[in-house]
Amino acid sequence: MKSCTIIIPHLESFCFLEACLRWIGYMKNPEIEQKIIIVDDNSQDGSYDLIQKEYGNKHLVLQTGRQDKEQNAGVPLDIAASHVTTDYVCSLDCDCIPMSKAWLSYLIDKVDEGYIFAGRNSAFEKPYMAFGKNNPDMIPFLIIDNCYRVSTAKDFKLLSENCGFKRHKKSDKKYDYYSPKYTPITGHSDTGVAANYYAYSVMKRKSFRLPIVAVIGKVEKQGSFGQNIADLVFHMSLSSRRLSSRSDIPFVGEEYEGYLDRILAEGLTDKFIKELLSKCTKKMYDYFIYEGNNAFRQTEWRT
């Protein structure tokens, strides 16, 4: 039996974490042994104590203890790395809801084919769509996002120990294209992660990238917030960036705020989740395999 550790970073978004864990249980594949590590990024709203109370006897619960106010989801991944004892690792944001019992197995199969990462494409629709129109300038921004991604535990630990999944800032002093400590790709999403750049450009490994095939809402400058990731996972993005005390986007727009008000009032119930999922339809979609600056388009229909 294959085994996979699911690492879930959390920051003051307990209502999403509850739903995420619940649906991981609903969509469990009996052929994959699952272990879950929850890493709280030093929440200040009491949610860490709630996590320990509700899940401390079921899952490994860690805390980063970070004091800085920077949003950096890569830090919890690096902290969890040393605790991984399984064959594979899945990093999963707490605002992701598995939609299919194939949500892990499909990506594990792709990793078994030799890809270093298999998971969600970049959060940015404009770069993705621009690249879909054969715009090569957008390639550097189309990386596998940490929010939903699978790799072998061996590769995950190698990259975490030697490079790290922490995002670098544009203000970092210099970038060495061939150093595991730095990355020349800075800016949005997980493009400032040294481990990602090192995997693609130094190790020369290919990745399998799932696109967003349907969305529910738009957010100015942030893309979309309700994302159907290839009929495998639904991502209600921006949760911790909106809810936490470290929020860098205090207002996300009327549409998102309407959903959020309802979630905070009712909780992210199964009924509400099914309502969200009903707005996502199955499609034929394109995915891209990247090798250096070359991309190979393939089309697949998966039910």
Using alpha carbons, list the distances in angstroms from residue 23 to 15, 27, 101, 222, 233: 13, 6, 10, 26, 10
62 CB contacts (<8 Å, ≥6 apart)?
Answer: 37, 38, 39, 40, 76, 79, 80, 83
Contact 253, 265 (CB under 8 A): no
Beta-strand (E) ranges in 148-293?
Answer: 148-152, 207-210, 212-215, 218-219, 223-224, 226-229, 233-236, 285-291
**Which segments within the chain are labelled E, that is strand?**
2-10, 32-40, 60-63, 88-92, 96-98, 117-120, 148-152, 207-210, 212-215, 218-219, 223-224, 226-229, 233-236, 285-291, 294-300
Beta bridge partners of 229: 212, 233
- Are 199 and 117 in contact by the 8 Å Cβ rule? The answer is yes
Domains and CATH numbers, the chain: 2-300 (3.90.550)
Could you tell me if 187 and 204 are in contact, meaning their C-beta atoms sit under 8 angstroms apart?
no
288 forms beta bridges with 209, 297
What pLDDT tens digit does each residue of the chain (303 aa) get? Answer: 999 999 999 998 899 999 999 999 999 999 999 999 999 988 888 899 999 999 999 999 999 877 666 656 788 999 999 999 999 999 999 999 999 999 999 999 999 999 998 988 654 433 333 333 444 433 343 456 788 999 999 999 998 888 788 765 544 444 443 344 444 443 344 556 777 767 766 676 778 878 777 777 766 555 567 888 888 899 887 676 677 666 666 666 777 788 888 888 888 899 988 888 887 655 434 444 433 334 444 444 333
Place of tokens 């209600």: 236
| Tokens 């061939």, located at residue | 178
**pTM listed for this prediction:** 0.80
Spatial distance between the Cα atoms of 76 and 91, rounded to a whole number of angstroms: 10
